Structure 1
């Protein structure tokens, strides 16, 4: 059963005349008559009563008319949603993100995206970088937001924004009275930090930066999560060097100070190669617009430095 046959039948039912119905659907009268007859043959019962003056529907035809209208309406809706999906306007997007992005950048991206594409369902999943790469390979998430490097060669990435490291100190620490610090100012301080095996790239980058400043940080306490490390800072155990967006945690008793020449950490969007579509393009476009103000420097992926995971 072809949709054009349904359209011809509906036009005939509403016009009650073969000639007017044919004009309405832009076919010759003979073609419309043949189309309705083929439809009757396929259904197996007469749908119209033909006379020299007008056309009337049979009881079966009246019932068929209701279903034909509903079928065409559904087909039109399906076509429109298909076209909108091709433009990235409908569908579902599952976004993975590393801890911390909920305090910097991600909320604004999601808010603007949902305002612009209200018919796209957005699901957020907080995952480590390794978990995101695994979820992308198994198609459990559509796109991941994480920190360089991306090690899986089957994934493509696009740079989103860059964030510097900052110094997190106890609010009562003498250095907290300064508006800005140098890394050399911290050479005699105790540090709290991640275990190297958990975030080796981040650990090595910070250690190299400190070594270039002439000292090796004295790590007196390790913890796995940023909130725990900031709690240790608040308790006066040591200082920590988080990415600047962690200031959004608002931890009591912790003062954040910018550091001169601090390393920049690069956040990228990642997706499976060969699976970039209009919906992902729409998300990346919104991200680029939201993260566009000065201070959010974006560099080509090939120039981005390795950063923490």
Structure 2
């Protein structure tokens, strides 16, 4: 019969008390099971661990050596229990997060830092994709979470609306309109426009074009880019003007000026998306942090 942790625990308490009655009381058992456990342990080890008579109980040399070993084994067991329990309750794992470039200026870096500070065991992998690619990747479970521009979503994808932002005109710093405090879209009627291709985010693209059409302006799109940051780079190199989300003013580009529009009441909304039918603890913790961030933003705006 193999040794058991119960035998070790019973022996360790008995070796500390050196009294069967007190040891049994400490273990919340009667004396007969304690005596039987000691006999089984000695038989298994084939040594005497205790010397006992009517007056006293004492450890044999073998008992003293085994006391140290039993204490070490039980200590390691306790440490192992603590470790696995901590692992079981602590958050860990990988969260694959898709993002569009503008989300770098709309709170995604702050969100990931907040999550890492709260749950160091969680690893976040940021993957740049346009909105359509993110929707497809989340649907196929290749991304756990996505930050996209507003667009129609399939039924299997859940979403959370983020705070909206207005559009702003982006011009080269030496453009005649760059000195203005506000610009009307009508004043862009004869300007060359830089924009991303419609195939990358049709709904988002159409929203921007509708701003021109609302003012009876047909934009002259002379250059198309794959990302907003490329749009800014083209404008900085005097390749045209553009309408961009206000958050891009935080991008730190030189040679560009951002001027508010007087006739653009529309606000663009981004969304966080995920598959609600797919359980993912770490992803849900990130969503919890995001909800707190949004609530704080609302509170600060009041």
Range moving further from structure 2, 249-258 or 288-297: 288-297
Q: Secondary structure at the match of 1:197?
A: helix
Q: Closer, same or farther in 2 for the Cα pair 1:94/1:189, shift >3 Å?
A: same
Partner of 1:280: 283
Q: Report if the CA contact (8 A) 1:155-1:270 is conserved.
A: yes
Give 1:77's aligned residue.
83
Pairing 1:293–2:297 present:
yes
2:273 to 270, 273, 283: 270
Residues 1:259 and 2:265 are matched in the alignment = no
Flag the 1:195–1:278 CA change in 2: closer, same or farther, 3 A.
closer
Q: Render the CA deviation track for 1:9-45: whole Å, top value 9, x for unaligned.
A: 654555555544444454455555667778x59x954
Alignment-derived partner of residue 114 in structure 1: 116
Deviations 1:219-268 (A, max 9, x none): 11222222322222122221111222222222221111222434322222
Counterpart Cα distance in 2 of 1:165 and 1:250? 17
Q: 1:62 to 1:253 in 2, by over 3 A?
A: same
How do 1:107-146 and structure 2 match up within 5 A? 107-137=109-139, 139-146=141-148
Q: The residue matched to 1:215 in structure 2 has which SS? A: coil
**Contact 2:192/2:221 (<8 A) preserved:** yes
Is structure 2 residue 35 aligned with structure 1 residue 49? no
Which protein is richer in helix relative to its size? 2
Shift of 1:176: 1.6
5+ long unaligned stretches in structure 2: none
Distance 2:268 2:5 in 1: 56
| Cα gap change, 1:76 to 1:201, in 2 (>3 Å) | same
Please say if 1:244 is aligned against 2:246. yes
Q: Determine the C-alpha separation between the residues in 2 that align with 1:135 and 1:13.
A: 63
State which structure, 1 or 2, has the greater radius of gyration over its C-alpha atoms: 2
- In structure 2, what is the Cα distance between the partners aligned to 1:27 and 1:207? 82
TM-score of the superposition, structure 1-length normalised? 0.76
Distance in 2 between residues matched to 1:161 and 1:81, nearest whole Å:
35
Inter-partner Cα distance in structure 2 for 1:107 and 1:180: 30
Contact 1:147 / 1:268 at 8 angstroms: preserved in 2?
yes
| Map of 2:201 onto structure 1 | 199
Asked if 1 retains the 8 angstrom alpha-carbon contact of 2:131 and 2:200, the reply is no
Per-residue displacement from partner, 1:173-213 (whole Å, max 9, x unpaired)?
22222222333332332211122222211221112222122
| Stretches of structure 1 lacking an aligned partner (at least 5 in a row) | 298-309
* Distance in 2 separating the partners of 1:12 and 1:211: 89
Q: Who is 2:222 aligned against?
A: 220
Count of aligned residue pairs for this structure pair: 291
**Could you tell me whether the CA contact under 8 Å between 2:195 and 2:221 is conserved in 1?**
yes
2:283 partner SS: helix
- C-alpha change, 1:294 and 1:63, in structure 2 (3 Å) is closer
- In the aligned structure 2, how far is the partner of 1:110 from the partner of 1:157? 18
1:105, distance to aligned residue in structure 2 (A): 0.9
**CA pair 281-31 structure 1, distance change in 2 beyond 3 A:** farther
Structure 1 residues 62 and 193, CA, compared in 2 at 3 Å: closer, same or farther? same
Partner Cα distance (2:135, 2:38) in 1: 56
Question: Aligned to 1:171, which of 166, 170, 173?
Answer: 173
The answer to whether the 8 A contact 2:171-2:258 is kept is yes
